[in-house]
A and B are shown apart, each in its own frame.
Chain A
Amino acid sequence: MARVELEGLTRIFPDGTVGLDAVDLTVEEGELLVCVGPSGCGKSTLLRLLAGLDAPTSGTLRFDGRVVNEWPPRRRNVALVFQNYALYPHMTVRGNLAFPLKMGGAGRAEIARRVAATAALLDLTPLLEQRPAQLSGGQRQRVAMGRALVREPALFLMDEPLSNLDARLRVQLRGEIAALQRRTGTTTVYVTHDQVEAMTLGDRVAVLAAGRLRQVAPPREIYDRPADTFVAGFIGSPSMNLLPARLESGNGNLAVRIGRARLPLPEAVMRRHHSLREQSGREVIAGLRPESLRPARERPDFRLEVAAVETLGHEQLVYCRPPVAMRDPVRPGQALTEAYLAVRMTGAAVESEQWIGLEVDSTAIHCFDPEGGRRL
């Protein structure tokens, strides 16, 4: 198993595009780290640098303390599962599984043994003589996993391996991947743009945007304490509502004013945002998760018009016209004219163009700096 350290890792492409910008990150032995972010954020670039398919422009990459910047892929003992699987179309499943072992110089008996064992582990035994074109998407994904597993590498790299599958299969294979990783204990870096995969699979989640590492933390912490507005807006579906606000002091406590609503900040919030106490009067961005807003008939904090309702069966997502123009998670200084306030409700009968009263769970308020979006 490998411990992976990235120090100031940067990749600038020949056309000047910054793929990765001074990323510092450590992946512990046996950990499953999920890298998540929107398209173009640098997560695939990171994976390619780890695999040795690309070279960093600057910075250091270490496996178990050894600098591997110049090492070719075969020397790094890593296995990569590609987004489109990259199975060798002219080889059978057996041939695909055996190929890395042949390249590693294993003998015939050893190859046969390990191919059989890996096929049994992944339910591929009946498919060994078939070619990739004869397999379903899920079967191909298993073969790609098998080709990675059979080598018993020190580091697994997975580049959005579930993105080409339907939703049901994705859920099923997600669980299998997690179970497999726990069983083998292999250090794994998993790249995805799907935050559900990120939150459910990873021991820790690394959120990337525009080549920069925004936050790396366990899933719960990413959700409960996002480091900036980008992470707050990216993680969670619907994402966190970001509203311009002002800090006010009065009656010995601090409150957040959003439009006409004044929301006192309880001690739980003050503990989460240490620096707020001395900042009365400043502008902030207030973050409210959709589940922190509840219907309230008496003394609501907001009375808002419902613009749209999505019924998901067990709950409703209600989109309301916000009390003030919401903020862009990427550029928090910028107002979004077409954004709606998302509220998660259960058991409520709400329709469009209806006016509803909402109260805020004050313990769930987040505060961010409007200049850079960082958590206060």
Chain B
Amino acid sequence: MRGAARSLRIAVRYTLLLAAAALMLAPVAIMVAGAFKPDALVLPEAGTLRGLFPERVTASNFADVLARTRFGLFLSNSLLVNTAIVALGLVVNSLAGYALARLRWRGRGVILAGVLALLVIPFEAIAVPLFWQVTLLGWRDTYLVQILPFTANAFAIYLFYTFFLELPRELEEAARVDGAGPWRTYLAVVVPNVRPAFASVAVLTFLTQWGAFLWPLMVTSGPAVRPLPVAIATFFTQPPLQWGDILAFGVMMVAPILVLFLLFQGWFVRGVAASGIKG
């Protein structure tokens, strides 16, 4: 009797968990399934089991996307912008975090409080004044306007700050006594010992910026510097409206992130965990 009740409880628990998982994964599954279906079958089969398990598989949607759009350009734009944001961001944010954690200077407390305050201010709140600023500077429709405003990041600074605080001071003092100057100490001793912080910030920044939509939409007009999120939104409005092509575009947009995830799984998990523990 007790065994049957326990089995029932486990069954109910798993059913609920599977249902929740299915709910979360359904949009992705529909996207992938629809991308490999003939375009004419995408809408009619949506909402049925065939929507998830196509009878006929084709790559024609992907070919269509490549023919109808400059996908290669948009992909390279996204890769360039995101790589630059991550690379510059690692330099800028790590140095800022180090200065806050290790150096003593007037106004340090105020700046640290400011960084913490920025954590709660959403980007949308400053998007318009920032737009005016970049317009005045003549930066619209450039790579620079998509990179520079996101180089310094309050969350990344704070993450680095907490990692540097935990590093034993004696390591840097040992380096000073061994004859290293400030830059040598930072590069040769400090940075190698906070590699998890660099990995975490790189992963989280890339994840966040890959899907950035609002700002690129505001500051780019032509396709020359357009990144993937804006490109797919534009593609959506281009006639003819072919759902198979749109879903294929989505799959192609997500594919680089998936490849990176497979290559750097461990760092992804640590990065997300660090954002929860350190933040």
Q: Give chain A's interface residues, CB within 8 Å of chain B.
A: 51-53, 72-74, 78-80, 82, 84, 86-90, 99-100, 103-104, 147, 151
> What residue in chain A is nearest B176 (Cβ atoms)?
A73
Do residues A99 and B192 form an inter-chain contact, with CB atoms below 8 A? no
Do residues A73 and B168 form an inter-chain contact, with CB atoms below 8 A? no
Residues from 179 to 224 in B contacting A, C-beta threshold 8 Å: 179-181, 184, 188-189, 192-193
Do residues B179 and A86 form an inter-chain contact, with CB atoms below 8 A? no
> What residue in chain B is nearest A72 (Cβ atoms)?
B176
Do residues A86 and B173 form an inter-chain contact, with CB atoms below 8 A? yes
> What residue in chain B is nearest A53 (Cβ atoms)?
B173
- Chain B residues touching A, range: 10 to 19
Of B173, B177, B188, which one neighbours A79 at CB under 8 angstroms? B177
> What residue in chain B is nearest A88 (Cβ atoms)?
B189
> What residue in chain A is nearest B170 (Cβ atoms)?
A86
Task: State the total of A-B contacts with C-beta under 8 angstroms.
Answer: 57
With known contacts A84-B168, A86-B170, A51–B192 Cβ distance under 8 A: no
> What residue in chain A is nearest B178 (Cβ atoms)?
A100
Residues of A within 8 A of B188 (CB): 99
Flag whether B8 is at the interface (Cβ < 8 A): no
In the A-B complex, the 10 residue pairs with the closest CB atoms: A103-B179, A86-B170, A100-B178, A74-B179, A86-B174, A90-B192, A73-B177, A80-B177, A73-B176, A103-B180
Q: How far is the CA of A339 from the CA of B42 in the complex (A)?
A: 91
Flag whether B171 is at the interface (Cβ < 8 A): yes
Residues of B within 8 A of A99 (CB): 175, 178, 180, 188
Query: Which secondary structure dominates where chain B touches chain A?
Result: helix
10 contacts between A and B (CB under 8 A): A72-B176, A73-B177, A74-B178, A78-B177, A82-B173, A89-B171, A99-B178, A103-B179, A103-B184, A147-B174
Do residues A53 and B179 form an inter-chain contact, with CB atoms below 8 A? no
With known contacts A89-B193, A90-B193, A82–B174 Cβ distance under 8 A: yes
Do residues A86 and B176 form an inter-chain contact, with CB atoms below 8 A? no
> What residue in chain A is nearest B185 (Cβ atoms)?
A103
Q: How far is the CA of A22 from the CA of B126 in the complex (A)?
A: 56
With known contacts A86-B168, A86-B173, A88-B174, A74–B193 Cβ distance under 8 A: no
> What residue in chain A is nearest B188 (Cβ atoms)?
A99
> What residue in chain A is nearest B174 (Cβ atoms)?
A86
Residues from 251 to 275 in B contacting A, C-beta threshold 8 Å: none
Do residues B178 and A147 form an inter-chain contact, with CB atoms below 8 A? yes
Q: Which of A79, A90, A151 has the most CB of B within 10 A?
A: A90
Residues from 158 to 176 in B contacting A, C-beta threshold 8 Å: 168, 170-171, 173-176
A99 smallest CB distance to B (angstroms):
6
Do residues B168 and A74 form an inter-chain contact, with CB atoms below 8 A? no
Q: How far is the CA of A157 from the CA of B241 in the complex (A)?
A: 77
B64 smallest CB distance to A (angstroms):
50
List 17 extra interface pairs beyond A73-B176, A74-B177, CB under 8 A. Answer: A51-B177, A53-B173, A72-B176, A73-B177, A73-B179, A74-B179, A74-B181, A78-B177, A80-B174, A80-B177, A86-B171, A86-B174, A88-B174, A89-B193, A99-B175, A100-B178, A103-B179
B181 smallest CB distance to A (angstroms):
7
Residues from 1 to 16 in B contacting A, C-beta threshold 8 Å: none
> What residue in chain A is nearest B171 (Cβ atoms)?
A86
> What residue in chain B is nearest A91 (Cβ atoms)?
B192
Do residues B170 and A74 form an inter-chain contact, with CB atoms below 8 A? no
A111 smallest CB distance to B (angstroms):
13
Do residues B184 and A88 form an inter-chain contact, with CB atoms below 8 A? no
B215 smallest CB distance to A (angstroms):
37
Of B168, B173, B178, which one neighbours A103 at CB under 8 angstroms? B178
B213 smallest CB distance to A (angstroms):
39
Q: How far is the CA of A130 from the CA of B188 in the complex (A)?
A: 18
Q: How far is the CA of A73 from the CA of B193 in the complex (A)?
A: 22
Q: How far is the CA of A51 from the CA of B170 in the complex (A)?
A: 13
Q: How far is the CA of A209 from the CA of B59 in the complex (A)?
A: 82
B198 smallest CB distance to A (angstroms):
13
Do residues B170 and A82 form an inter-chain contact, with CB atoms below 8 A? yes
